[in-house]
Amino acid sequence: MDAMKYFLLPEKGTFYKANMHTHTTVSDGKFTPEEVKAAYMREGYSIVAFTDHEILLPHPELCDENFLALTGVEIALNPAGVHPQFARTYHLNLYPRDQLKRDFGAYSDKEVWLEHSRKYALPEQAGRNYPREYSVKCANEIIALAKQEGFFVSYNHPVWSLQTSEDYAGLKGLWGVEVYNTDCARVGLPDTPQPFDELLRAGERVFPLATDDSHGDRDRFGGYLMVKAEELECDTVIEALEAGNFYATTGPKIYELTLENGVLHIVCSPVKEIAYSTDRRYACALQGDLCEATFDLNGFFKDSQLARKGDAPPYFRVTLHGADGGVAYTRAFFLSEFENG
């Protein structure tokens, strides 16, 4: 490990509070996009991704110097002939990278979308009759097609979706996976970080997401991202999201996260526990009234040289637990990101 100081969250920029999973009256939400914006701004949010079901509808009219409305869509892969209460399902959010440059054309008309969007994996591809069978293979084909068409993709609420590792361990090319979903948590089906870690151990460089999946009153303002970007501008924020310059949280705040001479340092809001975990049984947790913590990872770096071909790429990540039950998750930091790591 070299002597450089790495800022695992960017040294420069501003943290912006973001909800990346939101529904409105455009699909099955209770509130209009305008009402959603007003409510989230009152709670200190600067970014909301509007991800209505099966309809990719931009809301540029909501953007201003203090608020960024991102465009997205949530699509589902459901098995045929199974009652909805028992059916396993894939729910994926698709976000276009070039949000400002993309010409959505006629698809900005809600009625046009409603006529055809449920038939296709990518709503923009109105002429592509793309199948949606329930399978890992089909999910991966959709993820690959989405990426080809300029989207990045999240995997939503695996617990609510009744899914097991059989369903998600083979997923390829995801940008993020929900480790917390307010809607699901408040109906008694809370997500866990296990799918996130299993995908990491399979070599997938996915990011942890805490979202609301908001539809009405009860499922708002629970899980969010703190995105660090140099300005509240669409391309800059999308770049920060794709780079993983954020952490997921239901309350605890991370102010600084650095690695220097193999020593990890965290500065945060008051919490009861700060822990790091890795791709193996190499972890450590500190408990108490904490606002910062330091962990020497040199042993981990050294032991990582013992990794065999085919093992999971070595990584570490940080979890914070607040006294009120809130949790924050950083992304995984792979040793290949560090010089001589």
> Per-block average pLDDT, block size 10, for the chain (341 residues)?
86 98 93 97 98 87 96 88 89 88 49 44 40 85 88 97 96 98 97 97 96 96 98 96 98 98 97 96 96 96 77 91 97 87 46
Tell me the pairing of strands 73-77 and 68-71.
unpaired
Residue 5 falls within a domain, yes or no?
no
What is the structure's pLDDT at 54?
81
In CATH, what number is assigned to the domain containing residue 281?
Answer: 2.60.40
Residue 333 falls within a domain, yes or no?
yes
What is the structure's pLDDT at 257?
98
Residue after which a domain boundary falls, among 182, 216, 249: 249
Place of tokens 């708002």: 220
Residue 1 falls within a domain, yes or no?
no
Same domain membership, residue 112 and residue 231? yes
What is the structure's pLDDT at 83?
87
What is the structure's pLDDT at 125?
41
What is the structure's pLDDT at 3?
72
Amino acid in the structure at residue 231: E
Same domain membership, residue 303 and residue 225? no
Same domain membership, residue 282 and residue 241? no
Give residue-wise pLDDT tens across range 170-220: 999 999 999 999 999 999 999 999 999 999 999 999 999 999 999 999 999
Place of tokens 């709670």: 43
Same domain membership, residue 192 and residue 174? yes
What is the structure's pLDDT at 46?
98
Same domain membership, residue 274 and residue 235? no
What is the structure's pLDDT at 308?
65
| Max intra-chain CA distance, the chain | 59
Look up the domain containing 58 and give its range. 12-249
Burial degree of 303 (CB within 10 A; 0-12, 13-18, 19+): middle
**Complete DSSP assignment for 38-86:** HHHHHTT--EEEE--BT-----GGG-BTTBEEEE-EEEEE--TT--TTT
Residue 52 falls within a domain, yes or no?
yes
Same domain membership, residue 100 and residue 23? yes
Same domain membership, residue 170 and residue 58? yes
What is the structure's pLDDT at 120?
37
Same domain membership, residue 148 and residue 67? yes
Domain count, the chain: 2
Residue 7 falls within a domain, yes or no?
no
Residue among 121, 116, 159, 162 nearest 140 (CA)? 121
**Helix spans in the chain (H):** 33-42, 110-116, 136-148, 165-168, 182-186, 194-201, 234-243, 298-304
CA–CA dist 234, 240 (Å, integer)? 10
What is the structure's pLDDT at 155?
98
Same domain membership, residue 236 and residue 96? yes
Same domain membership, residue 289 and residue 181? no
- Cα torsion 277, 279, 281, 283 to 10°: value is -20
* Whole-prediction pTM: 0.92
Residue after which a domain boundary falls, among 181, 216, 249: 249
Same domain membership, residue 91 and residue 66? yes
Amino acid in the structure at residue 244: G
Encoded tokens for 140: 């991966």
CB 94 within 8 A of CB 56: yes
Tell me the pairing of strands 176-181 and 254-260.
unpaired
What is the structure's pLDDT at 16?
98
In CATH, what number is assigned to the domain containing residue 88?
Answer: 3.20.20.140
